[in-house]
Structure 1
Amino acid sequence: MPDKTFRMHRAGPDRPRPRPIMLAIAGDSAAGKTTITRGLVEALGPERCVSLCTDDYHRYDRAERRELPFTALHPDCNHLEILEQHLQLLATGAPILKPVYDHATGELVRPELVEPAPVVIVEGLFPLHSKLARACFDVTVYLDPPEEIRRGWKVARDTRARGYTTEQVLAELDRREEESAAYVRPQRSHADVVVRFAPIESRDDPAGTPLSATVMLRPTIDHPDLTGVLQPGLTRAMHLKLERDPDGRPVESLHVHGYVPREESLAVEKAIWTALGDPDGESPECLGRIGDARSEPLAIAQLLLLYHLRDLGRQVAP
């Protein structure tokens, strides 16, 4: 990835605090970005991790957007230049005064001060939109669920939490489709890690079977060595394949199966957590949480990202 050949000039000797590790989680609306981020923040703890959402950089509030010829998925609907400036500041260990968009009311409200923690997670529609933004991150992730699943998630979320009707959500999805294809999905090609939650196509699992996950590991960064984790007896829950991504590039794909008994997934989680350097403790219970339910493939995907963050923390000098 060309962006990896240069990095932001970060905290020098005049700054006493070490530079943060920067993680981007990009994806379309209702792809699961907030869910995966919430578990990581809780696992790391608020003193070690801070997150922000690029939705806060909307240029217009919800009422104003109704009169516009484009949607929130269009770059012109967002202050992306300010986002780039703020990413550069955070990457150097400096605080920012971040705008705030209230999803409950659709209004732009009072900005808030964000002090960078040792880990900064930026999730949303546009963290990987520009070359300058991408250069601020140590590791980048794109969430890529099948469209029919994502649409179902968006209908469920927006009708439950944001006051929309099903018809309104579906109409907005149709209105956004062209801009989603033009501006959001292309960010997938810039991600170091692509995560896809979906059923396994070759299986005819009954309704209610938990979704599996495919974690595509591109060779744009150094990924952790999982040979010690993928031991005999654990391969039914998780296995690694050498495949090609949609652009034809060779990648390693980690397949995490949602249909296996929970005890097998827990054994994989334990192996990864041990590899993280905590052989005696249990992996955080907050991982894999979706409301009151739990997804073992989600927990394992989050653990792999924690693996990356811990490894980067050992590599990055103040």
Structure 2
Amino acid sequence: MSTTAELAARARGLVASGERAILGIVGAPGSGKSTVAAALVEELGPELAVCVGMDGFHLSDAVLAAHGSRHRKGAIDTFDDAGYAALIARLADARPGDPPVYAPVFRREIEEPVAAGVEVPAEVPLVVTEGNYLLAASGAWPAARARMAEVWYVELPDDVRLARLEARHRAFGKSAEDARRWARGSDQVNTELIEATQGAADLVVGLS
């Protein structure tokens, strides 16, 4: 299992030239990818790295309801993949002296995306982006992946991952029964799709 310091050393190598690089962190729901991304950015410091989450491109509940897919929130087709790819392109193309780019965030306390929640200064060389579908082969996901220097896959034993996922669902308002049903239903379908992309990762980061 790689340490945060080891991962940070590899990440620094991506921006050794001083040019902007995008690093993707991917994994199944509850795998710990957000934790890895946050720890990596903290280790590197704000002058070197900033984190931009894919989850800011969740479709709103109103749009999901209109599509009849509110019950599948989190599935690959419930994200604005083209919008995410466009943001990644803007971030990849930014150079020192350019204006900052503002990225959306997802607020779990309201279960909705919020625009312009993260400021990405052009002078920060590394953008760490994390999410479920960075290695997916459909839609605009490959266009986003093409602008990333590397993508790392975070892997966690299923029993631990499911326990953490259920706990997260409960923490944000679901009953124990609903949390279990969601984690082992819709989330599990998404997990199987994500796990099938692991072979395309540049690095597998094992957690325990």
* Bin of the TM-score, shorter chain as denominator length: 0.7 to 0.9
Aligned to 1:241: none
Aligned to 2:201: 191
Q: Could you tell me how far 1:64 is from its partner in structure 2?
A: 4.4
Q: Could you tell me how far 1:145 is from its partner in structure 2?
A: 1.4
Aligned to 2:166: 155
What is the rounded CA distance, in whole Å, between the counterparts of 1:30 and 1:114 in structure 2?
26
RMSD between superposed Cα atoms in Å = 2.4
- Alignment partner of 1:181: what SS? helix
Q: Could you tell me how far 1:192 is from its partner in structure 2?
A: 0.7
Unaligned runs of 5+ in 1: 1-17, 198-210, 212-318
Aligned length: 179
Q: Could you tell me how far 1:191 is from its partner in structure 2?
A: 0.5
What is the rounded CA distance, in whole Å, between the counterparts of 2:120 and 2:38 in structure 1?
17
CA separation of 1:153/1:92 partners in 2, compared to 1, >3 Å: closer, same or farther? same
Kept in 2: contact 1:21–1:137 (CA 8 A)? yes
Q: Could you tell me how far 1:123 is from its partner in structure 2?
A: 0.6
Aligned to 1:34: 34
Aligned to 1:97: 102
Selected match of 1:175 from 160, 185, 192: 185
Higher relative contact order (CA 8 A, sep 6+): 2
Q: Could you tell me how far 1:104 is from its partner in structure 2?
A: 0.9
Q: Could you tell me how far 1:121 is from its partner in structure 2?
A: 0.3
Normalized per residue, the structure richer in helix is 2
Aligned to 1:119: 126
Aligned to 1:278: none
Q: Could you tell me how far 1:96 is from its partner in structure 2?
A: 3.0
CA separation of 1:65/1:31 partners in 2, compared to 1, >3 Å: closer, same or farther? farther
What is the rounded CA distance, in whole Å, between the counterparts of 1:74 and 1:37 in structure 2?
21
Aligned to 1:144: 155
Alignment TM-score, normalising by the size of structure 1: 0.51
Q: Could you tell me how far 1:109 is from its partner in structure 2?
A: 2.7
> What code does the residue aligned with 1:99 have?
P
Q: Deviations over 1:191-240 (max 9, x none)?
A: 0111222xxxxxxxxxxxxx4xxxxxxxxxxxxxxxxxxxxxxxxxxxxx
What is the rounded CA distance, in whole Å, between the counterparts of 2:65 and 2:36 in structure 1?
28
What is the rounded CA distance, in whole Å, between the counterparts of 1:122 and 1:171 in structure 2?
28
Kept in 2: contact 1:62–1:107 (CA 8 A)? no
Aligned to 1:87: 88
Kept in 1: contact 2:49–2:126 (CA 8 A)? yes
Alignment TM-score, normalising by the size of structure 2: 0.76
- Alignment partner of 1:82: what SS? helix
